[in-house]
A and B are shown apart, each in its own frame.
Chain A
Amino acid sequence: MEVSTTLFEMGLTCLVLFLSGLLAKKVKLSLIPLYILAGLAISRFVKPTIIMEFMSTVGLILLLFLIGLEFTLESFLKNRKKILAGGLYDLALNFPVGLVIGLLLGFDWLCSLFLAGIVYVSSSAIICKGVVELKRSANPETECLLGILVFEDLFIVLYLAILSGAIANGRTELLPVGLAIFKAVGFCAALIIIAKVFKKYIEMALDIESTELFALLIFAIVILTATSAEAVGLSMAIGAFLAGLVISETSQKSRVLEVVAPLQYLTVAIFFVSFGLTSQLTNLKEIYPVVIFLVVASVPLKLLTGFFAGKGYGLSRRAQWRLGLSLLPRGEFSVVLATVAMGITATHPPVNAVTTLYVLIIAVLGSIAMKYADAFAKWMEGKKTMV
C-alpha cells in the first residue's frame, strides 16, 4: 500500500515535471526555475517522502558528477591566466554582498557564508544554454564569460568542501575551520593524484564492452566516491564532482554521459522539484523584502563585473554590457548550496526559502536580460552618444 502510494506520487510528479518542461520550452526559459516552481505548486498535494529525498540526493550526486565530468583541469590550467583575471573580479565584487546581507539579517556566520555563495555563483547551466541558443558562442565576450563560470564552479566546489567540512565538525570555530580546509583540500588532492597516477589502470578498468556492466561500474564509482566524501565529513557533492573530474580524464567520457543521461534526467529534475517542495514558502511576507533587496543589490554588482572583467579582456563597451547581463542568472549551484545548508540544522534561518525565491526571480530575470543584452547594450550606447 505504502509503496504504491509513493509510486503514484512519483508518477504524478514526473507528469507535472513533463508539463512544466513543455511550458519552459514554450516560453523559452531554463528548466531549472520551472522545476522549482513545479515543486512549489505540488507542495500542497505531495508531501516529501524518504524516497523522494533519496532520488533527490542521487540527483544532487549526478548533477555534481556531470559538472565534474565537463570540467577539464587541463583546459583550466592552460587558460588559468585569463580565467583568474575575470574570476577574481567576479569573486571580489559578488561574494561579499550575500555575506553582509546575511549578517545584517541576523543569520549566523555559517548561514551567511552559505548565502554569500548562493548569491555569488552564476548558473553555468542556464548561461551556457543561453550562449548556445542565442548563437553567441563566437562573440568576443563569450571566452571571458565562460572563463568566469569555470572559475566560479571550481571555487564553489572547494568552498562547499570547506563549509561542509566545518559543518561536520559542529559549529564554525576557528580550529575546525582550519581542519575543514585541510580535510577538504587533502581529499581533493588525494583524488586528483589518484586520477593522475592510476590513469592507465582507470582507463583499463573502464574499457568494458558491455554497456550494462559499464553503467553499473560507473554508478558504483560515482556513488562510492560520493559516500566516501561523506564518510570523511565532506559533502557528497564534492565526492561526486571529483569522480566526474577523474573520469573526464579518460577516453570514455562521451560513453559515460550516454549511460548516465536517463537516470540523470529523472533524478536531477526531482532534485529541483524536491527543493521547491521542501522550501516552505509559507512566510512569504517576511522573506520577499529580503529577496527583493538581494536582487537589487546583486544585479548591479554582476554588471560591474562585466565592465571590469571585460575591460581587462579588451572588450568593447557593448561586449562589456553583454558580459555583465549574461552573468545574472543563478541556478543549480545556488540550489546545491542551499540544500547542503539545509542539512546543517533544522532551525537555521530561512536560507532555503530565501534561495528559492531569489533563484526563481533571478533565473527568470537573468534569462530575459541575457536574451535582450544586445538590444539593451545598443540602447545604452545610443543614449550615451545622445548626451
Chain B
Amino acid sequence: MLEVKEADLPAIGKKFTIETEAEETVVIIMRLTGEREVYRFLKDKEEPESVTNLTEEEARTIGNILAGAYFEPVHEKAVELVMKQLSMEWIKVEEDSPLANKTIGEVGIRKKTGVSVVSILRDAKYIPNPLPSETMHVGDTLVVLGSSEQMKKFLSFIGKSREE
C-alpha cells in the first residue's frame, strides 16, 4: 500500500506527502479555505519544481480524471480498475446483450449480481448515477462498480468472460 504522510499545518491546513515510484515527492496542501496546492519536488531538492494552485472544484475534477471516472474508452476492451477488492469496468452494450434496450431496474442488475451501474456514457453525454428507470441502449457504455466477486457474476450474466 502506498504510504501517505499526513501532517497538520496550523492556520493553513493539512499536508499530505506522497513519494512516487519515480522518486519524486508530491505534496498536497488542503488549505482551510478549501483551496488546494500541489507541489512537486525532485529527489533531494528542497525547492519545489512546480506549484499548482487549484480551487475546490478544479481539484475535484482533476481528482476524478486521475481516478479514471472520466475515461472514455475508444475501443471495446474493458478497462479494469482495481482498488483493493473494488473493481470498475467499462462495458459496451451490444445488440445481443441481455441488457440491450432494457431498464436497469427491469434487468435487476444489482439484485442479480451485486454490482452497481455508476454512470452511463451515451454518445458524448455522461449520465452520472442513472436511475433504475434508465434504459440501456445499444451502443451505451456502462461504468459498473462492484467487488471482484460481484463483477465476475455480472460478466458471466451478460455472457462475457473477463478478457485481460
Contacts and interface: CB of A to CB of B under 8 A. Distances in A.
B47 A78 contact: no
Contact of B8 (A79, A138, A139, A319): A79
Given A137-B29, A137-B37, A143-B7, A318 B46 contact: yes
A147 interface: yes
A78 B6 CA distance: 12
B69 interface: no
Contacts, number: 59
Interface stretch (A128-136, A214-222, A230-238): A128-136
B46 A137 contact: no
User: Could you say which of A128, A137, A318, A319 has the most chain B C-beta atoms within 10 Å of its C-beta?
Assistant: A137
Contacts of A137: 9, 12-13, 15, 27, 29, 31, 37, 39
B51 interface: yes
B48 to A, nearest CB: 6
A137 B17 CA distance: 12
B163 to A, nearest CB: 42
A299 to B, nearest CB: 23
B66 interface: no
Contacts of B8: 75, 78-79, 143
A: interface residue count bin:
20 to 34
Contacts of A143: 7-9, 15
A149 B17 CA distance: 22
Contacts of B41: 138
A146 B11 contact: yes
A250 interface: no
Interface in A58-92: 70-72, 75-76, 78-79
A132 B12 contact: yes
B12 A138 contact: no
Given A128-B12, A143-B15, A146-B12, A138 B29 contact: yes
A71 B11 CA distance: 7
Given A135-B37, A138-B27, A318-B46, 7 more contacts: A70-B32, A124-B11, A137-B13, A138-B29, A138-B41, A146-B12, A319-B46
